[in-house]
A and B are shown apart, each in its own frame.
Chain A
Amino acid sequence: MGILINLFLTFLRVGALAFGGGFAAIPMIQSDVVATYGWISSHEFANIMAVASMTPGPIAINSATYVGFKIYGILGGLIATFGVVLVSFILIGIIAGIMTKFSNNKYVNSVLEVLRPVIVVLILVAAINTGHSAFVDYREILIFGAAIFLLFKTKIHPIALITSFGLLGIIIY
């Protein structure tokens, strides 16, 4: 029981303090589950992170589920996952409510006016950062070019794009 409470509190804290999504959460999870509690070896943690970033879904959720499962089975997975989303779920709900109520407030509007261009840049920077590790040789550049072409020139659905290139990957690599 004690371990479940600690597991919950650890991921609650990660969810409450990880600004900037999953990649900000990874070092926090590592310091707690590997260094502080010693629940998982650092070698195993590296494997968990590899799986978490290669399976569908948010990395923070994937790693919480996996770490929780390793420590206390499916119940552990549930508790850790629940912990990692709880704070952001509540915060988002409250903020969304406030935003709807104060949608005509000049301060809220002013903040949003400044935030919109910032978010555009943040998304662009996310693309650049993902690009750092995505390009190994010319084949990735070709795939990137083909994907960009399809996105801009056709109305292809992102899921169709991901699925077809995933299958293509089995053939070319």
Chain B
Amino acid sequence: MACYIVGSVDCKTMLYMKGVLEMSNISLYLPKVKDDTRKLTELFLVFLEIGAFTLGGGFAMIPLIQKELVEKKHWVEEEEFLDEIAIAQSVPGAIAVNTAAITGHKVRGWPGAFAATLGVMIPSFSIIILVALFLNNFASLAITQAIFRAIRPVVVALITYSAYKCWNTISISRFNITIEVVSLLSLLVLNAPPAIVILVAILFGIIRKVKIHGNTN
């Protein structure tokens, strides 16, 4: 259609150029490499976006990853995602970085982990450098305070919603409810550090199997 508008000579040139482009397109001959690069680029871009909109710490990132990778792209399954958060929480360091790295690793191994981690870091890094260079009074500006004040309850809502969705993926059994109540009490009432609660849970998970194993034999 467009050819008629451009004129027949131009049309031929264009078709010729198109052919040359297609032939020179190495990725056509190496579909696997192309697919791979595309997935890595996608991973990088998704986490770039997530990094730019994660306000209020690593937990605020969970609903964003859930939406993008579990619901939209289906790269990660719901239960798998819960396991990934479990690992991200058990390892030291920023939860957002850990979650990015493990999700990237699951999708595409070490290069995937690298692409996701790099993606999630770049917005933070550049925004902080810009703020440090030009907006030293950023935190006390009226406009940033207004935006932040309105966003904070939204972040609370997002994290609450995430907790609900994660809760929905695991079954309502006596076992799960007992663990939920015990960990809720130890975190809220006893003020136990999350790392200790996780460590105890890991030990309990191992001991439980050792005992069952001992009984069956």
Given A20-B195, A51-B138, A117-B176, A112-B128 contact (CB < 8 Å): no
Interface set of A (CB-CB < 8 Å, partner B):
15-25, 47, 50-62, 65-66, 69-70, 74, 77-78, 81, 84-85, 87-89, 91-93, 95-97, 99-100, 106-107, 110-128, 130-131, 133-136, 140-141, 143-144, 147-148, 151-152, 157-159, 161-163, 165-170, 172-173
Given A130-B159, A159-B64, A53-B57 contact (CB < 8 Å): yes
Contact residue among B155, B163, B201 (Cβ-Cβ distance under 8 Å from A114): B201
CA distance A172 to B163 in the complex (A): 29
- Smallest CB-CB separation from A115: which chain B residue? B86
Q: Tell me if A55 and B158 are in contact (CB < 8 A).
A: no
Instruction: Enumerate chain B residues within 8 angstroms of A122, measured Cβ to Cβ.
Output: 89, 183, 187, 194, 197-198
Contact residue among B92, B120, B145, B158 (Cβ-Cβ distance under 8 Å from A147): B158
Smallest CB separation, B140 vs chain A (Å): 8
Q: Indicate the size class of the contact surface on chain B.
A: 35 or more
Instruction: Enumerate chain A residues within 8 angstroms of B117, measured Cβ to Cβ.
Output: 85, 89
Q: Tell me if B156 and A134 are in contact (CB < 8 A).
A: yes
Contact residue among B151, B159, B183 (Cβ-Cβ distance under 8 Å from A118): B183
CA distance A106 to B59 in the complex (A): 29
Instruction: Enumerate chain B residues within 8 angstroms of A118, measured Cβ to Cβ.
Output: 86, 179-180, 183, 197-198, 201
Contact residue among A70, A89, A110 (Cβ-Cβ distance under 8 Å from B205): A110
Instruction: Enumerate chain A residues within 8 angstroms of B124, measured Cβ to Cβ.
Output: 55-58, 61-62, 65
Q: Which 4 A-B pairs have the closest CB atoms?
A: A169-B150, A57-B124, A88-B93, A111-B205
Smallest CB separation, B166 vs chain A (Å): 5
Q: Tell me if B123 and A116 are in contact (CB < 8 A).
A: no
Contact residue among A81, A130, A167 (Cβ-Cβ distance under 8 Å from B156): A130
Stretch at the interface among B18-26, B33-41, B97-105: B97-105
- Smallest CB-CB separation from B170: which chain A residue? A116
Contact with A along B145-162 (1 / 0, CB 8 A): 111111111111111111
Contact residue among B146, B163, B205 (Cβ-Cβ distance under 8 Å from A170): B146
Contact residue among B62, B140, B163, B205 (Cβ-Cβ distance under 8 Å from A113): B205
Q: Tell me if B146 and A169 are in contact (CB < 8 A).
A: yes
Indicate whether B16 reaches chain A with its CB closer than 8 angstroms.
Answer: no
CA distance A84 to B93 in the complex (A): 7
